[in-house]
Amino acid sequence: MILKRLVLNNFRQFKGRTVIDFSPIDGKHVTFVYASNGVGKTTLLSSIVWCLYGGDKLEYIDQKSLFLNKSLFQELSDFGEMTIEATLIFEDREKQYTVKRTIVIQNVDNKQKITDQNLEVQINNETQYNPQDRINSVLSPAMKEYFFFEGEGVQKFADESNYKKVQDGIKNIMKIDTREKALSYIESARSKFAKELKEINAEQGNADILPEEEKELLIEKQKDIKHNIEKLNKDIETFDDIIKKIEINLLSIEEIKILSKERESLLQDIEKAKEKRKNLQAQQKDKIAKEAYLALSNDVLTISKNIIDEKRETGILPVGIRKKFVEELINSHMCICGTTFDSGDKHHNKLLNIIESVSDESAIEDILNELSYFIEAKKDITSKYSLEYKTLSDELTNTNEKLNSLEQKFSTLEDNIEDEFPQNEENLISRKKQTINDRDNSIKTKERFSIELEEIEKKLKEIETLINKYETQNEAINLVRDRIAFCSEAVEVLSKENAKIIEQIRCDLSKKINDKFQTILHAQKNAKIDDDFRLIITEGDNENISGKSGGEGQLISLLFISTLIDMARNREKERNTSDIDPGAGIYPIVIDAPYGKFDTVYKQYISEVVRDMAPQVIILLTQEQWNDGKDLYPIFKDDIAHQYVLIAHRPKLSHSFSKTNRINYNGQSIDMEILDDDEYTEIKNMKDI
Amino acid sequence: MEVKDKIKEFIKEVYKIIDNNQNLSENNKKELVKKEVERKVLK
């Protein structure tokens, strides 16, 4: 942290806008501000502290809450308000910080009342969300008294009773406290994880049987039940099969019964047909015996008739109307033309004429015809017998066919009947009943097993859920264990590192303080930082005589701070960002009146210490302490970057004006007090004078 | 990343938590460190 500029606006004595540059120039790092007592040196110091850390009161200043310039406040009407502002620009780790703090003062009953306060922090022109955090991360408020202090007050570090401040200072500045805090936070995280682990373990409880074991048992049971159900299914299937077969047997038996009746009837029919055929055969035999010749004569007659017909056609035999035929017509009074007639009429006479002309030779033909008619009639008789016989034979054949078909059916039915079952219908029905009973029992058992199986499956699901939950919990347990292990490892690494670094810092600090102490005082006294980080001065056998002398105490305190800041600076420079080193820091020193109790020799000692104590040193001192630079200039001449003088404007000059309120610079005498109607402090860069 | 490096990174993060959150209560800062462990050691 290197201060670059302070801008004040109506801050206490500093009326209007006041700007002070602190930036080191060409490696020159010291700024002097000279002022008479009560003009504004301490206000400058406290304005820097207030700008950084705020508050309703100003540090190092007795008066309370007098933020606003007096003359401006007097101009304020009742309840009138005015804003006061302090802006500090500084650099830290290559970033530029602009810290602007404002406070609004109201005139209430002629007293300054704070009505509002505001802080704005920009880092590289970017406004920050948590402005105070950003400042604190650069320079903790606990450390401010090591960097912004009154010279006389610094003595406190050498006071035995303030050893805690020394400890805190070392720990703060060397970031040992950061290391210790880091360690304690990691340990705290580890404790929290351990607590979480305990809670998860408690949640799992202590079951008599592990869910995995229970799952195994249930799966085994599930397997048995499934096996039983499978077996029962097969049994049921077998029972169904048996029942079906029995039913088929029963049906076959029933059908056989019907068929038997049918067969019986058919057999009777066959017997009857056979009997009938037998009779018919006998009749036929008899008929043939008696009239078979007729059957044979038929052909002879047919041939004879054919011969006669042939003879007629050839004219060998006579042709004409048969006499008998005409006589029949006359007897029936019917003409050949179809007309009926009475005796004596024309048709009758005609027929009588015909009869006279008809020859008697047609009688042979008539005989032949009669014979032919007879044979024809007999021929029908044999045909009739033949037909009857044929019909009967057909009937017999049909009946035999039916019988054959019936026999086949019998055979099929008999084939259907399983031999393994009783052939008795009654026994078969009883067997069926028994089988149905067995099947029903198997179904019931199966249902019972199925219910049991369902319960097991339900239970398995529950156990599965539980196992999943445990697995999730186990995952969580493993994760928490990993985190605990991680914390433990970090604690181990950090503990070792801290122990090493802290001891190293303590030894280095102790040695450096003692070296400087010895160089400056050349006394038989030694300074050291003990194991508890206390600043101890020893003289012979006497331990811890620090603070016995005011000047010595102040010197030792400054030595302590300067050594500390120097070490912090070196540590920060050497910091390896890839390493687990929080670093330390580069800090300025703003010191008010460091020479209060010292004589010339001590002033020179102190000056050398102060000059080298920090990369930036701002010294606020009176012109008396400066003494026109007679004692101090030779020590600081190569390091002075800025010199300012505070000029008091007052309506009435102080009585010692001519003697003390003047400072010499480059052969010029500068008045530090000017008669003015207004009362305020003006700051001037001595280069501009 | 090796465990050793992971721990180094983590400790650096813890330093940042301490530096950047000085206005937070101790408990909150401890909680932030715990959360950082959770981020570093994931499932």
CATH code for the domain in which residue A671 is found: 3.40.50.300
Residue A23: how many CB atoms within 10 A of its CB? 17
Q: Is residue A122 part of a domain?
A: yes
Measured distance CA(A617)–CA(A65) in Å, rounded: 28
- Tell me: do A411 and A302 sit in the same domain: yes
Give pLDDT, residue A436: 94
Q: Is residue A601 part of a domain?
A: no
- Tell me: do A136 and A230 sit in the same domain: no
CA end-to-end span of chain A, whole Å? 30
Q: Is residue A428 part of a domain?
A: no
Q: What stretches in chain A show pLDDT beneath 70? A: 62-65, 152-161, 205-208, 284, 287-288, 291-301, 305, 308, 312, 315-322, 357-369, 371-372, 374-385, 416-422, 522-523, 541-551, 576-579, 596-598, 655-660
Q: Is residue A156 part of a domain?
A: no
Range(s) of the domain holding residue A225: 212-320+359-421
Residue B33: which of A185, A479, A482 has the nearest Cβ?
Answer: A185
Number of separate domains in chain A: 2
In Å, how far are A9, A269, B22 from A257, measured between CA atoms? 133, 19, 111
Q: Is residue A195 part of a domain?
A: no
- Tell me: do A143 and A226 sit in the same domain: no
- Tell me: do A8 and A105 sit in the same domain: yes
End position of a domain, from candidates A421, A445, A474: A421
At residue B28 the predicted structure's pLDDT band, cuts being 50, 70 and 90, is very high
Residue A305 half-sphere exposure toward CB, CA atoms < 13 A = 16
- Tell me: do A387 and A258 sit in the same domain: yes
Measured distance CA(A564)–CA(A174) in Å, rounded: 8
Could you tell me which residues come within 8 angstroms of residue A373 by beta carbon, excluding any fewer than 6 positions away?
Answer: none
End position of a domain, from candidates A403, A421, A439: A421
- Tell me: do A282 and A398 sit in the same domain: yes
pLDDT in tens, A103-128: 998 889 888 888 888 999 999 999 98
Residue A137 to residue B19, Cβ atoms within 8 A: yes
Give pLDDT, residue B33: 95
Give pLDDT, residue A51: 95
- Tell me: do A142 and A224 sit in the same domain: no
DSSP A129: S
Q: Is residue A124 part of a domain?
A: yes
Residue B14 to residue A185, Cβ atoms within 8 A: yes
pLDDT in tens, A612-628: 878 899 999 888 888 88
Quote the minimal CA–CA distance from B40 to chain A in Å. Answer: 9
Residue A192 to residue B7, Cβ atoms within 8 A: no
Could you tell me which residues come within 8 angstroms of residue A145 by beta carbon, excluding any fewer than 6 positions away?
Answer: A165
- B8 contacts chain A (CB < 8 A): yes
Give pLDDT, residue A363: 56
- B13 contacts chain A (CB < 8 A): no
- Tell me: do A140 and A279 sit in the same domain: no
Let me know: does A535 contact A560? Beta carbons within 8 Å.
yes
Cβ-based contacts of A483 with chain B (< 8 Å): 37-38, 41
- Tell me: do A135 and A216 sit in the same domain: no
Grouping H, G, I as helix, E, B as strand and the rest as coil, residue A541 is coil
Give pLDDT, residue A294: 60
A→B contacts (Cβ < 8 Å), by residue, are 130, 132-134, 136-137, 140, 178, 181-182, 185-186, 188-189, 192-193, 475, 479, 482-483, 486-487, 489-490, 493-494, 578-580, 582
Crossing angle of helices A425-521 and A550-574, in 10° steps, is: 130
DSSP A25: B
Q: Is residue A500 part of a domain?
A: no
Give pLDDT, residue A75: 85
Cβ-based contacts of B21 with chain A (< 8 Å): 133
Give pLDDT, residue A362: 54
- Tell me: do A18 and A142 sit in the same domain: yes
- Tell me: do A277 and A414 sit in the same domain: yes
End position of a domain, from candidates A381, A404, A421: A421
Closest C-alpha among A350, A354, A330 to residue A340: A330
In Å, how far are A165, A168, A243, A299, A553 from A534, measured between CA atoms? 9, 10, 107, 172, 14
Q: Is residue A410 part of a domain?
A: yes
Residue B15: which of A136, A178, A483 has the nearest Cβ?
Answer: A178
Let me know: does A455 contact A221? Beta carbons within 8 Å.
no
Q: Can you tell me which residue has the tokens 């034979």?
A: A393
Give pLDDT, residue A483: 93
